[in-house]
Chain A
């Protein structure tokens, strides 16, 4: 019975056809209809130009053939790993990537808003509205003679008086007083510079004195000073044409900050935001800041 079954031609046909089908399938894996096409990476001419350009800007010469192959290989490796990393969503929980992208968005909005030039009228209004920011500091030109109280323990007041009258006769400050590294002569300089060099209220105290004669002593961080105010200039608000670049700089800076904020707020409108309450708020921890 079995013997006769094995001789059956139909069985021969089925077995033969089946095995042929299997062999064909193994030999031609692409033919399986479920496989998607491979993603393609094209290293474009523009990309290669850009690799060459960056290399040349660093090295001050174009790459050799071998170096260029190295650059392309390196680029390919980066591109492949980058794509696979994105596919694995490795970017999503990465603080550095997130911060970098946030920064790029902020720069994007900065760029796009910094292209608009302010009009004359806008600048003028900005200047008037922020006058304090653009006011020029009071200035004075000064000569000073330093007196170290420790070097005149008993006779300080007498020495000061003598020196003052001597100076008022012959006013070269280079000749008198105690040694100091502080300059004897100052050209017209903003009051802030005197504050920086002498400390405390020195600048404004001297500014309150009349010009044209030796006066003092005025105290500083170092001791006492006889001073001769050569010239004083009151603070003022300069006209726009004198400080245009400065006003523009501030105008753009303000605009930059506002644009970032507006941009964020408008984007935020696109989202429905849910903030769940944290399990436990550690109260008072932030109070010190």
Chain B
């Protein structure tokens, strides 16, 4: 078939689609009626925007030198550098030489702490008051002619001699100040390039409930500068601010009411909240959560950052004793500043798996599930460098950029406990199934939770649930098309089981094209049993290398290990490049509400500490892990009877 014929067919198809009412129906892709399908959907799955066909990668949580703590650690890379780096450019890091990502990111949220954002005078606004002064006018003209440096030097000179014209003296209470928030917005606008790179406007609301319980949230805007700059970020210090999450949600509501905009908030590091992140008792009034709280929270917080540099938050070995992969990047010594140690009773209110379970229970009690959230990963890096690759990890802050000593640096100390440098994780990224790379499309995908998180690698992951997936669907040429047609994607809902049916799942993962092979796919199910108790169960649903899954739904044979720690390498001689299957819940009870999410495990690979040891020729203490199995967590799919 010639190229021109293809074009004609394509054009015809597009015309046919245009004459059909909507592009919503993605058609039936079984081979028997493929010809009929051609009349329902365009030849190209990209056309018409019916379903997302591409996963976009990003970081929703990056700090630059604009964050006070990042600046204090010596980070000198600002907003523009952060965007340039994420887009794939090479930069000079603050302390460890040149740095570049293996692959660019598709989107970025710079989330500097909203408290303590600096001010700076803006001498060049062209303010008539300034221009009425001869010196002001002269400066303005010279600045516009490109002689800014000369003017700046003159300003400094006049100041130091006390000779600055009174009209040109600026005070923080005059309009000549430009806030850091305006700069943040401006930088996002500059680097946002629809179709190629999305720069979201955002900030971090850094709520720390005394003595140091982490309730931080990142706020992300769907909007551009016109709306975002009508307000300033919520802060946590009284009298303007508050550390109560309900305060934040109120402000988000007011923002939307005022501007018609759209924002969401993403909590992170429940593991450092000492039991406050996913509570059943509101810490503010010490009363059980109300329906109002549940409704508001589920409205503003559709996602949780489940993995990042300060620990992985999926689950904890104490909470999931039957999950041999649960102890990954566990940070459970205390709260954020280690002013209070952790007790076991706190754990269930800190990790996403148990929070998802708590949510089901609260739904029964309150009628609303406050913890119905999707999962992503992000870095929380304070270096302006969004690095989550083990072989290219630039640390948590400028002081922990690569160096022979960084593994031993204390990260936080207190109450007789300590987090050491080596404990930080080179994690993670957010993956978003969106129709295109724009603020709107990616934000909308976040709101519908069609997202997943990884600890760094970029594997492609699909997770669909429906009532009629057949084993043959897993061997179809275009599994995702069938997935959308017969089911709902990750983040979706199943309601009312048809008589005698159990949920079926189409699950698939493709390895990172430059990363490690896959070990296995696991479905994690959580539910409330008949007696009201919370339950969870792990099923291995697809395993590599021809291993067997037992009648109990588990494969206890490890995938093996090819890691050469000394040389910090591994080989893809074990595991599979792709795993796909259809799985049916064997223990389904249509009367009980449940959730399901997919966990993807890679084969073992070297940890960043192994790359450090090799590069610097270090002999690291035995307590430091040098290899690990990286992973992805999808947003759950909920079944509600």
Contact = CB atoms under 8 A, between A and B. Distances in A.
Most buried by A among B71, B145, B239: B239
B578 A212 contact: no
A249 B149 CA distance: 19
B152 A108 contact: yes
Contacts of A108: 120-121, 152
Given A109-B148, A113-B148, A181 B34 contact: no
Interface residues of B, number: 87
Contacts of B46: 183, 185-187
Contacts of A70: 239
B474 A179 contact: yes
Interface stretch (A29-37, A49-57, A273-281): A49-57
Interface stretch (B338-346, B376-384, B476-484, B558-566): B476-484
Contacts of A266: 149, 153
A111 B240 contact: no
B467 interface: no
A54 B231 contact: no
A115 B404 CA distance: 43
B434 to A, nearest CB: 14
B132 interface: no
B319 interface: no
A109 B615 contact: no
B173 A47 contact: yes
B68 A112 contact: no
Interface string B47-61: 100000110000000
A267 interface: yes
Contact of B240 (A59, A182, A212, A221): A59
A58 interface: yes
Interface in A204-221: 211-212, 220-221
A100 B254 CA distance: 32
A117 B462 CA distance: 48
A149 to B, nearest CB: 10
A49 B123 contact: no
Contacts of A46: 171, 173-174
Contacts of B156: 267
Contacts of A173: 477
Contacts of B123: 111-112
A103 interface: yes
A168 B123 CA distance: 67
B590 interface: no
Given A112-B151, A115-B143, A177 B477 contact: yes
Interface in A165-208: 168, 170-177, 179-187, 196-200
Nearest to A102: B76
B111 interface: no
Most buried by A among B95, B124, B173, B232: B173
Nearest to A285: B404
A223 interface: yes
Interface string A144-176: 000010000000000000000000101111111
A103 B34 contact: no
Interface in B13-31: 29, 31
Contacts, number: 192
B619 to A, nearest CB: 15
Interface string A76-98: 00000000000000000001100
A222 to B, nearest CB: 5
Interface residues of A, number: 75
A175 to B, nearest CB: 6
B283 to A, nearest CB: 22
Residue of A47, A58, A116 ringed by the most chain B CB atoms within 10 A: A58
B625 interface: no
Contact of A289 (B47, B147, B173, B403): B403
A6 interface: no
Contacts of A262: 149
A112 B148 contact: yes
A74 interface: yes
A231 B120 contact: no
A131 interface: no
Nearest to A286: B403
Interface in B86-114: 95-97, 103
B281 to A, nearest CB: 27
Interface stretch (B355-363, B413-421, B510-518): B510-518
A111 B122 contact: yes
B53 A103 contact: no
Nearest to A117: B144
Contacts of A180: 477, 510, 578
Nearest to A249: B190
B143 A116 contact: yes
A111 B178 contact: yes
B615 A288 contact: yes
A99 interface: yes
Contacts of A59: 240, 251, 254
Nearest to A212: B3
A4 interface: no
Given A67-B239, A99-B72, A111-B120, A174 B173 contact: no
B368 interface: no
Nearest to A181: B510
A70 B238 CA distance: 9
B124 A111 contact: yes
A267 B152 CA distance: 10
B477 A176 contact: yes
A181 B235 CA distance: 43
Given A58-B240, A112-B143, A103 B71 contact: yes
Contact of A182 (B146, B239, B510): B510
Nearest to B478: A174
A187 B153 CA distance: 53
Contact of B80 (A60, A103, A253, A288): A253
A266 B163 CA distance: 20
Contacts of A198: 513
A222 B240 contact: no
Interface string A107-129: 11101111111000000000000
A205 to B, nearest CB: 14
B16 to A, nearest CB: 15
B500 interface: no
Contact of B120 (A107, A230, A267): A107
For A112, A113, A177, A200, the residue with the greatest tally of chain B CB atoms inside 10 Å of its CB is: A112
Interface in B471-523: 474-480, 508-511, 513-514
A104 interface: yes
25 contacts: A57-B231, A57-B232, A58-B251, A60-B231, A63-B239, A71-B239, A74-B239, A100-B118, A108-B120, A109-B148, A111-B178, A115-B143, A116-B145, A116-B146, A148-B577, A179-B580, A181-B460, A181-B480, A185-B46, A186-B46, A197-B513, A211-B3, A221-B577, A289-B95, A289-B403
Interface of B: 1-3, 6, 29, 31, 34, 43-47, 53-54, 65, 68, 71-72, 74, 76, 80, 84, 95-97, 103, 118, 120-124, 143-149, 151-153, 156, 171-174, 178, 183, 190-191, 231-235, 239-241, 251, 254-255, 257-258, 402-404, 460, 462, 474-480, 508-511, 513-514, 577-578, 580, 615-616
Given A113-B146, A222-B577, 19 more contacts: A46-B174, A58-B233, A58-B235, A70-B239, A71-B240, A74-B239, A96-B72, A103-B76, A109-B149, A148-B578, A177-B477, A179-B580, A180-B578, A181-B479, A185-B46, A211-B3, A223-B577, A262-B149, A267-B156
* Nearest 3 A/B pairs, CB to CB: A199-B513, A113-B148, A60-B254
